[in-house]
Structure 1
C-alpha cells in the first residue's frame, strides 16, 4: 500500500503550524469591496466619518491663534486686551476739550442752518405780499379756463400733439370697457326677466284652461252619471278649434 502523507492526516491546526499560515494567506488573497470615493472630493473624510475638512480648518485656525497669544504673552506678560477706547491720563483733558469743541461747532452749524431757512421763508412771504399789493384793483378777473383756451389757440398744434390728445388714456379705456360690460349685463337681465314673465303667463293660461276642462268633464247629472251632453259639446268645440 502507498504511503500516506502525514500533512493530510494532521487535521488539528495550531497557531504555529504551517498549514494554518497557508490558510491565512489564501484568505488574504481574496479582494474586498473598496468604498467608492468621488474624484472631486479634495478634503479628507467627512463629519460622519470623524473629522471633516471644515473641522480640520477650524482646529488649524484655533491652533495658530493660540500660538500667537502665547507669543504675545511671552513678549508682554503684564499687558491687557483693551476692548474700549481709553485716553491716557496726561492727555485726557486735551481729548475731552477737542470733543466738546466739535460738538459745539456741530450745534452752531445746525442753528445757523435753521436761521438761514427761516430768513429765506420770511423774504419769500414778503415778496408774495408785495406782488399782491402791486396788482391793480380795477382789473377784471379773468377765468383760468378762458386763458388756457386762448393759450391753446395761440400755440400751433402739431400732428403728434393732436394724436396724443386724441389718444385715450388707460383710465378712459377701462371706463369704456366697464360701461360696455354693464350694458351687456343689463340687457341680459332684461331678457331673462321678459322670458320669465312670458313663461309664468303661459303656465297660468294653461292651468286655467285645464281647470275649465276639468270642470266641464267632471259635471254629473242628478243621478250621479257623467253629463254626456256637456262632454260632446266640449269635443265639438275642440274639433272646430282645430279646423280653424
Structure 2
C-alpha cells in the first residue's frame, strides 16, 4: 500500500482521516442547533449569558417605544449609572487580571531600577578606570624620561617618589 513508508506514517495518515471525519460530524451538529449561542456557553456561566440576552431584548423593546423626551432622561440615567459603576469599581476587590497587571508593573519598575543602578555602577567603574590610567600614564612619562645621553633621569624619579610619599601621609 505505502511503499517505502513505515508504520508510523501509516498510523499518522489513519489518525488524520479520523480527525477529518470528526470535524465533519462536528460541523453538521453545529449547523443543526436552533440556538447556537446558549449551547456553547460554559456551564458555570450560562445563567449570566442568558440573563444578558434577556436584558438586551428588553432594551430593544423599550427603545422602540420611547419618545424623544425619554431619550434625554435616559442619557442622564446612563451617565449616573456610569458614575456609580466607576465608584463601585474603586471599592471592589481587584480582579486577577488587575492583580497580574499590578504585579507586572511592579516587576517592570524593579527591573528598570536595577538596570539604572547597574548603568550607574558601570559609569562609575569606567570613570575610575580612566582616572587610574591617566595617573599611570603620568607616572610612566615621569619615570621613563631620559637624559641626553640616554640614561634614566634619577632627579625626576626621586621627586616623583617624594610626591607619592607626601600624598600618602
Q: What's the TM-score once normalised by structure 2's chain length?
A: 0.53
Kindly report which structure 2 residues correspond to 1:15-164, keeping only aligned pairs within 5 A, or say none. 128-129=63-64, 131-132=65-66, 134-136=67-69, 141-142=75-76, 144-149=78-83
The alignment status of 1:185 with 2:111, answered yes or no, reads yes
* Greater gyration radius: 1
What residue is the counterpart of 2:151 in the other structure? 225
Change in Cα spacing, 1:189 to 1:217, as seen in structure 2 (3 Å) is same
Corresponding residue SS for 2:143: helix
Following the alignment from structure 1 to structure 2, what is the Cα–Cα distance between the partners of residues 177 and 227?
A: 67
- CA distance, structure 2, for counterparts of residue 208 and residue 151 of structure 1: 66
Q: What are structure 1's unaligned runs of at least 5 residues?
A: 1-124, 154-161
Runs of 5+ unmatched residues, structure 2: 1-59
**Inter-partner Cα distance in structure 1 for 2:157 and 2:109:** 54
Equivalent position of 1:196 in the other structure: 122
- The 3 A distance-change label for structure 1 pair 189 and 152 is closer
**How far is the alpha carbon of 1:135 from its aligned partner?**
3.0
Tell me the TM-score normalised to structure 1 length.
0.38
Structure with more of its chain in helix, by fraction: 2
The CA distance in 2 between the partners of 1:143 and 1:166, in whole Å, is 22
Aligned to 1:174: 100
Q: Secondary structure at the match of 2:76?
A: coil
